[in-house]
Amino acid sequence: MEDERSFSDICGGRLALQRRYYSPSCREFCLSCPRLSLRSLTAVTCAVWLAAYGLFTLCENSMILSAAIFITLLGLLGYLHFVKIDQETLLIIDSLGIQMTSSYASGKESTTFIEMGKVKDVVINEAIYMQKVIYYLCILLEDPVEPHGISQVVPVFQVSTEQLSKVFSPKKICYLSPFSAFLLLLRFSRNVNSSCQDYLRTPDSYF
Amino acid sequence: MAYRGGGGHGQPPSAVRSRVSPGSLSTCRTRTHNICMVSDFFYPNMGGVESHIYQLSQCLIERGHKVIIVTHAYGNRKGIRYLTNGLKVYYLPLKVMYNQSTATTLFHSLPLLRCIFVRERVTIIHSHSSFSAMAHDALFHAKTMGLQTVFTDHSLFGFADVSSVLTNKLLTVSLCDTNHIICVSYTSKENTVLRAALNPEIVSVIPNAVDPTDFTPDPFRRHDSIITIVVVSRLVYRKGTDLLSGIIPELCQKYPDLNFIIGGEGPKRIILEEVRERYQLHDRVRLLGALEHKDVRNVLVQGHIFLNTSLTEAFCMAIVEAASCGLQVVSTRVGGIPEVLPENLIILCEPSVKSLCEGLEKAISQLKSGALPAPENIHNVVKTFYTWRNVAERTEKVYDRVAGEAVLPMDKRLDRLISHCGPVTGCIFALLAVFNFLFLLFLRWMTPDSLIDVAIDATGPKGAWTHQYPYSKKGGENNEMSKPR
Amino acid sequence: MVLKAFFPTCCASADSGLLVGRWVPEQSSAVVLAVVHFPFIPLQVKELLAQVHQAGRVELAVLGTWCHRRQGAEESLGHFLEGLGTIFSHEPWLQLCREPGSKLWSCKATRRQVPPRRGAPYEDQVMLVFYDQRKVLLSQLHPPAALPDRQAGDAAPSAGGLAAVFDTVARSEALFRSDRFDDGPVRLSHWQSEGVEASILVELAKRASGPVCVLLTCLLSLVSAASACRLFKLWPLSLVWSKLSVCEQLRHRLEQLTLIFSTQKAENPTQLMRKANVLVSVLLDVALGLALLSWLRGKDRIGPLAEALVPVADHVAEELQHLLQWLMGAPAGLKMNRALDQVLGRFFLYHLHLWISYIHLMSPFIERILWHVGLSACLGLTVALSILSDIIALLTFHIYCFYVYGARLYCLKICGLSSLWRLFRGKKWNVLRQRVDSCSYDLDQLFIGTLLFTILVFLLPTTALYYLVFTLLRLLVVAVQGLMHLLVDLINSLPLYSLGLRLCRPYRLAAGVKFRVLEHEAGRPLRLLMQINPLPYGRVVHTYRLPSYGCHPTHSWGSLCRKLFFGELIYPWRQRGDKQD
């Protein structure tokens, strides 16, 4: 079983969300961004080279041109290998765990598997990111030492953060059914303290 | 705090509404507002402005409005936090410059503030405190974005020294096209109108309030063999710590059964310590250091007399709190203090050591003769004076009025700035306003409003945060599942 | 809960038989370890399991049956397999079956004792997870799960989750010991090693390693005893030892060698890894040192080097002389206090003069010293580098002296100024309470204080300039030394063996696992492939970094700048990394 929907990311780019149901206990959510377009690649390369040529005419040093070539190549390699993520996959296997895979444009894949026993909760959180305020999905890991503590917060779909308001309406929330967004709200009601003087212990303190 | 009780008992919203000033405005409360409180000062910082913002927000939430608070990050406390009743607080990562106030460039906070205003669908910006650069920034941006603006001034200013002249000029610019201004006392209103050259019509007076249930008397906590004078304030110049250091040795020599308890922290603490050492008063003057708000009551009830030595004060909440605890209040006659309490509850003096000593001696003699009313009686009188619900009702009326007004369009705003603020300043700020508008257009082009997520409304009695969503029951076709734990 | 059956990939093509493994009830997972083939005697199977239990303290059981249908396999086998469930009772009883199509598997798990709903045995949902037995056996999970207490006799490992699977496989090593040429009473199918290599050399080395280790340990203990001799602990010597980085490096090396040749057996994999890392890093160090030595000796490069060294030192001294003369005039157009300037300049010039004559006195011996120093490279590159750093420190001793004089003067002035500034404001420093008190001064005191303050303020620029110039020179030297120490630290602490292991055998160091969903058909159990997720290089370095003796920077950049501003001395040998952190 497979179906596909498209969303937009926080910058307005298009994202495709694919869902695959292998079995009742195993589902996969796959979020893919558009690939690197030839147009933008050409534009950036031309810009760098033109700038280098401009400098070259000024200083008459051919080192600049070769340096520009190296910079473009290294930059492209670095971008493809460390920055540009083509696809992010979330595989949920019941009673086993959650596996997150991000595949970079260069083919590199980085995988993290989190056992179900370590997952404390999955919430949608709000954070200030650069000059924006965004929603993001994250997995809270249990602290092995302290039963109520949270040892780590693992963001899911980190680069291509979905525009969650589109998923947020109660009808569509079942897309990420195990990750019910309202857990977040439940959490508030559970932990909120009655008085403002206790603000230090309010639920917020995940971070 | 106390208002949670009301919300928690599940009072129907209509009941709340019917209680709104039964005489005048009982029927016209039909709309709710999305209010954004902006100030540099909020918890975990402690003070009058902070608790004002918090209490007012809670009461407004109780009345069905949506309220969010925007402030800057305090140390590790940054990002988005929720307080009681789903009150959402944005702690923005802006650099603090001086005295917990952020640095202002008029521009750098625009992207974040715009994002917040848009995603929370804010209609009214309510800024607090003229010391807060962020509040002024927010007013400026809100006007650029065409939102209604309200400003609350919590402090008094002089007119003479350089810093006041500069601040007053800034205030003139900031308030000249603000829709409405709220002051905490009539003195403060006069002061603000004069400083910012405002039309008095658009300035309202809404006093501060205290929560009387938090400040109840407890006569058994105090020792009746000795007389205890309590001082609770920040130990800074404005609060008259230098006067206090003059009073202490004089009175302590005169009355051997007199003790001082001083709560608060600040740069002037060293003076008090020196006085204590010079006159060997270690057993009679207790310096408690910084107090948390919840500890203030426990300190207050240990004393008989409350002393306030402020040199300038718009509305002194400390004396109301002290009176609510049943203490006799001795205070300087400055700013809005004479308006706060009736004559029989307060002894007013001139801000000088001599006059304050006389006032204190009068209070001591009254105490010794037993002429003072019982703490319970004082509490019962005071608790009716200032309540946050009343403040919230009155503020709500301001919001209703402001919501009906039109926001000045750009050209009129520029005219107003140039005509109102003097040729040089006016032109400069008109230019800045134009730049700000261009910056806003650029931001709108970069991330259109439609791309910004709408935040879910978690506030209020009907807010999402009180709903208990059973998370296995909803949704549900083929992908329904319960959490595996 | 879904039942998970972990099945080794190497058994996928085995003949039909019994599944042997461990049942983890907390996670309802069955870890299959081996397949027992027909024909077998049930008693012998049980004996074998008991043996393995004895060896690894892991509770093995017969979990179910395995049926590999080939073309033309008789039908009656199915009934027979079901019947086996009565002999080896286990809850739940697994029935794995592979169809001839090779890609289709079926799996059933039946429970007998659970109250049956409609008479029929209750069936669980099953999920098949394939794993590579060899890799799982050899890999080491990071971070290591809570170590199961082997002495306690408690068979159930405390580790939870997937760590339990890893643990089970690792503990039942006894089961895999029999290789394919062995002919035991029970025929098993599981991952088998290719047989132990038996070469004479390896055997000899193994035999010899014990005595060699003992011998070397004795030698090392002799050396360390000699170094601990009281003669070396006398006052001036101990000071010198603590300041020379060579001594530090040698001591560190001695510790490392002691660790390598210690006859104690490494208790856990971490210690073993550490030993290997130390060994590799020492070997590499010595190899690099020998390379350096051969390069130095090869074309007799020491002579020219020594000849070049004296002129360089001379040249540095000359440059310093020029600098001082420049400072004694009007440096950069600044107007300084002439008298103080002259006094300071002459003082430093005289000092420099002394230094130059000292260098000239030394020059005939330098070549011989260098020759001996070059020999030390055979102890390792790090030792040679440390010696080089010490030589630099000795050759720039005059800069250090200048810096100390300048800093002392400057510090004195700053202290004086700050206390006089307090006097100005009617305050004083209360030493007892560590705070600033207000204080009323006499007129005389105020007058004298103001006078002194003025004098100090006007003399400050001259001192500050000298201080600034010499501090910059000093910082340059410290930076060069720091760079060398950084290199030494790098060689000392890089876990080369672990990195090599990560490069060549990625599965040995596991950060966790990852799963791949195999082809799936409706109605059949889900099949997953469990693979080992190797540890990232960054974490390998972080986990296995060897402890190095280098002191970590004791203060941050901010406090360093503060110290520089207030004229406090900074010592390179106390916080050596601090220019390059």
Beta bridge partners of C429: C436
Strand ranges (E), C338-378? none
Q: In this prediction, what percent of chain A has a pLDDT beyond 70?
A: 71
Look at B84 and A195 and tell me if their CB atoms are within 8 Å.
Answer: yes
How far is the C-alpha of B202 from the C-alpha of C237, rounded, in Å? 84
Query: CA gyration radius for chain C?
Result: 37
How far is the C-alpha of B403 from the C-alpha of B147, rounded, in Å? 9
Structure tokens at C391: 């030589």
Positive or negative, the CA dihedral A60, A63, A67, A69 is: positive
Under DSSP, the state recorded for A82 is I
For residue C154, is pLDDT > 50?
A: no
Query: For residues C410 and C463, is the Cβ–Cβ distance under 8 A?
Result: yes
pLDDT of the residue at B402: 92
For residue C411, is pLDDT > 70?
A: yes
| pLDDT bucket at A163, cuts 50 / 70 / 90 | very low
pLDDT of the residue at B259: 92
For residue C197, is pLDDT > 70?
A: no
Query: For residues B455 and B119, is the Cβ–Cβ distance under 8 A?
Result: yes
For residue B224, is pLDDT > 60?
A: yes
* Neighboring chain A residues of B57 at a CB cutoff of 8 Å: none
Query: For residues A9 and A136, is the Cβ–Cβ distance under 8 A?
Result: no
B407-466 residues touching A, CB cutoff 8 A: 447-448, 451-456, 458, 464-466
Q: In this prediction, what percent of chain C has a pLDDT beyond 90?
A: 7
Picking from A27, A173, A196, A198 by the largest number of B CB atoms within 10 A of its own CB, the best residue to mutate is: A196
Nearest alpha-carbon partner for C130 in C551, C528, C480 = C528
**Residue C169 to residues A96, C163, C165, C349, Cα–Cα distance (Å):** 18, 10, 6, 76
Which residues belong to CATH 3.40.50.2000 in chain B?
A: 2-11+32-209+389-451, 219-386
Beta bridge partners of A7: A15
For residue A120, is pLDDT > 80?
A: no
Residue, of C472 and A135, whose pLDDT is higher: C472
Mean pLDDT along residues B183-207: 90
How far is the C-alpha of B116 from the C-alpha of B122, rounded, in Å? 8
Look-up: residue for tokens 């938090």?
B214
pLDDT of the residue at B459: 67
Which residues belong to CATH 3.40.140 in chain C?
A: 3-189
The fold of B2-11+32-209+389-451 is Rossmann fold (3.40.50)
- Helical spans, DSSP H, in C160-268: 162-171, 173-176, 200-227, 235-243, 245-261
Residue type at C263 in one-letter notation: T
pLDDT of the residue at C180: 56
Among B154-163, C499-508, C510-519, the minimum mean pLDDT is found in: B154-163
pLDDT of the residue at C113: 58
Mean pLDDT along residues B464-476: 39
| pLDDT bucket at C231, cuts 50 / 70 / 90 | low
Nearest alpha-carbon partner for C269 in C142, C393, C379, C452 = C142
Nearest alpha-carbon partner for B453 in C495, A167, C237, C389 = A167
pLDDT of the residue at C193: 63
* Neighboring chain C residues of B274 at a CB cutoff of 8 Å: 437-438
Among B87-101, B191-205, B214-228, C241-255, the minimum mean pLDDT is found in: C241-255
| pLDDT bucket at A12, cuts 50 / 70 / 90 | low
Nearest alpha-carbon partner for B300 in B328, B340, B280 = B328
How many angstroms separate the CA of residue A102 from the nearest CA in chain C? Answer: 13
Q: Which of C1, C512, C517 shows the shortest C-beta gap to A26?
A: C517
| pLDDT bucket at C3, cuts 50 / 70 / 90 | confident
Q: Mean pLDDT across chain B, nearest whole number?
A: 83
Look at B82 and A203 and tell me if their CB atoms are within 8 Å.
Answer: yes
How do strand B124-128 and strand A14-23 relate by DSSP bridges? unpaired
Helix (H) or strand (E) holding B320: helix B317-324
How far is the C-alpha of C310 from the C-alpha of C364, rounded, in Å? 10
pLDDT of the residue at B124: 94
| pLDDT bucket at B181, cuts 50 / 70 / 90 | very high
| pLDDT bucket at B204, cuts 50 / 70 / 90 | very high
pLDDT of the residue at C448: 92
pLDDT tens per residue, range C117-153 = 444 445 667 888 888 888 888 888 877 654 444 433 3
| pLDDT bucket at B400, cuts 50 / 70 / 90 | very high
How many angstroms separate the CA of residue B288 from the nearest CA in chain C? Answer: 18
For residue C581, is pLDDT > 50?
A: no
Query: For residues B385 and B185, is the Cβ–Cβ distance under 8 A?
Result: no
Look at A188 and B458 and tell me if their CB atoms are within 8 Å.
Answer: yes
Q: Which of A11, A178, A188 shows the shortest C-beta gap to B86?
A: A188
For residue A161, is pLDDT > 50?
A: no
Helix (H) or strand (E) holding B391: helix B388-404
Look-up: residue for tokens 């592979």?
C98
How many angstroms separate the CA of residue A95 from the nearest CA in chain C? Answer: 7
Picking from B245, B274, B275, B482 by the largest number of C CB atoms within 10 A of its own CB, the best residue to mutate is: B274
Exposed, middle or buried: residue B386 (CB in 10 Å: 0-12, 13-18, 19+)? buried
Angle at B229 between CA B224 and CA B234, to 5 degrees: 145
Mean pLDDT along residues C533-543: 88
pLDDT of the residue at A178: 30
Terminal CA-to-CA distance of chain A, rounded, Å? 38
| pLDDT bucket at A206, cuts 50 / 70 / 90 | very low
Among A50-64, B323-337, C226-240, C265-279, the minimum mean pLDDT is found in: C226-240
Residue, of C318 and C156, whose pLDDT is higher: C318
Mean pLDDT along residues C68-72: 66
**Residue B25 to residues A30, B11, B18, B20, B392, Cα–Cα distance (Å):** 55, 20, 10, 7, 14
Q: In this prediction, what percent of chain C has a pLDDT beyond 70?
A: 84
For residue B327, is pLDDT > 60?
A: yes
Mean pLDDT along residues C30-54: 82
Dihedral in degrees, nearest 10, Cα atoms B228, B231, B232, B236? -160
**Residue C110 to residues A23, C67, C144, Cα–Cα distance (Å):** 20, 16, 35
pLDDT of the residue at B5: 34
How many angstroms separate the CA of residue C437 from the nearest CA in chain B? Answer: 8
How far is the C-alpha of B112 from the C-alpha of B479, rounded, in Å? 37
A12: left (phi > 0), else alpha (psi -120 to 50), else beta? left
pLDDT tens per residue, range C296-353 = 877 777 778 777 877 888 888 888 888 888 888 877 777 788 888 889 889 988 988 8
**How many helices, marked H, and strands, marked E, lie in chain A?**
4, 9
Nearest CA in chain C to A22: C520
Look-up: residue for tokens 């990420």?
A176
Residue B120, Cβ neighbours under 10 Å: how many? 23
pLDDT of the residue at C551: 54
For residue A195, is pLDDT > 50?
A: no
* Neighboring chain A residues of B292 at a CB cutoff of 8 Å: 197
| pLDDT bucket at C407, cuts 50 / 70 / 90 | very high
**Residue C111 to residues C17, C90, C523, Cα–Cα distance (Å):** 20, 8, 20
Query: For residues A183 and A167, is the Cβ–Cβ distance under 8 A?
Result: no
Q: In this complex, which chains have at least 3 CB pairs below 8 Å with chain B? A: A, C
With H, G, I as helix, E, B as strand and everything else as coil, classify residue C455: helix
Architecture of the CATH domain C3-189: 3-Layer(aba) Sandwich (3.40)
Nearest alpha-carbon partner for B69 in B164, B145, B165, B134 = B134
pLDDT tens per residue, range C433-456 = 888 888 888 899 999 999 999 999
Helix (H) or strand (E) holding C85: helix C76-87
* Neighboring chain C residues of A112 at a CB cutoff of 8 Å: 512, 533
pLDDT of the residue at B67: 92
Mean pLDDT along residues B45-56: 86
Mean pLDDT along residues C382-393: 86
pLDDT of the residue at C150: 41
| pLDDT bucket at B266, cuts 50 / 70 / 90 | confident
pLDDT of the residue at C72: 55
Q: Mean pLDDT across chain A, nearest whole number?
A: 70
Look-up: residue for tokens 């009301």?
B6
* Neighboring chain B residues of A20 at a CB cutoff of 8 Å: none
Look at A189 and B468 and tell me if their CB atoms are within 8 Å.
Answer: yes
* Neighboring chain C residues of A99 at a CB cutoff of 8 Å: 514-515
How far is the C-alpha of C313 from the C-alpha of C323, rounded, in Å? 15
Q: Mean pLDDT across chain C, nearest whole number?
A: 79
Look-up: residue for tokens 């039946």?
C110
Mean pLDDT along residues A86-101: 83
How far is the C-alpha of B478 from the C-alpha of B480, rounded, in Å? 6
Structure tokens at C101: 């199509």
Under DSSP, the state recorded for B409 is P
Residue type at C3 in one-letter notation: L
For residue B221, is pLDDT > 50?
A: yes
**Residue C312 to residues B368, C316, C318, C472, C484, Cα–Cα distance (Å):** 91, 6, 10, 19, 20
pTM (predicted TM-score) = 0.76
Look at B451 and A10 and tell me if their CB atoms are within 8 Å.
Answer: yes
How many angstroms separate the CA of residue A60 from the nearest CA in chain B? Answer: 38
With H, G, I as helix, E, B as strand and everything else as coil, classify residue B484: coil
Q: Which of B84, B115, B475 shows the shortest C-beta gap to A133?
A: B115
Judge if ipTM > 0.85. Answer: no
Mean pLDDT along residues B215-241: 88
Residue, of C335 and B305, whose pLDDT is higher: B305
pLDDT of the residue at B438: 95
pLDDT of the residue at C79: 65
pLDDT tens per residue, range B408-460 = 888 888 988 888 888 888 899 999 999 999 999 999 998 888 878 777 776 65
Q: In this prediction, what percent of chain B has a pLDDT beyond 70?
A: 88
Nearest alpha-carbon partner for C383 in C263, C254, C275 = C254
For residue A68, is pLDDT > 70?
A: yes
With H, G, I as helix, E, B as strand and everything else as coil, classify residue B466: helix
Beta bridge partners of B286: B261
Q: In this prediction, what percent of chain A has a pLDDT beyond 90?
A: 9
How far is the C-alpha of C285 from the C-alpha of C380, rounded, in Å? 5
Residue, of C88 and B322, whose pLDDT is higher: B322
pLDDT tens per residue, range B98-131 = 777 887 778 889 999 999 999 888 999 999 998 8
**Residue A67 to residues B434, C100, C123, Cα–Cα distance (Å):** 42, 61, 68
For residue B217, is pLDDT > 50?
A: yes
Positive or negative, the CA dihedral C133, C139, C143, C146 is: positive
pLDDT of the residue at B25: 38
For residue B313, is pLDDT > 80?
A: yes
**Of 3.90.230.10, 3.40.50.2000, 3.90.1150.10, 2.10.109.10, which CATH number belongs to B219-386?**
3.40.50.2000
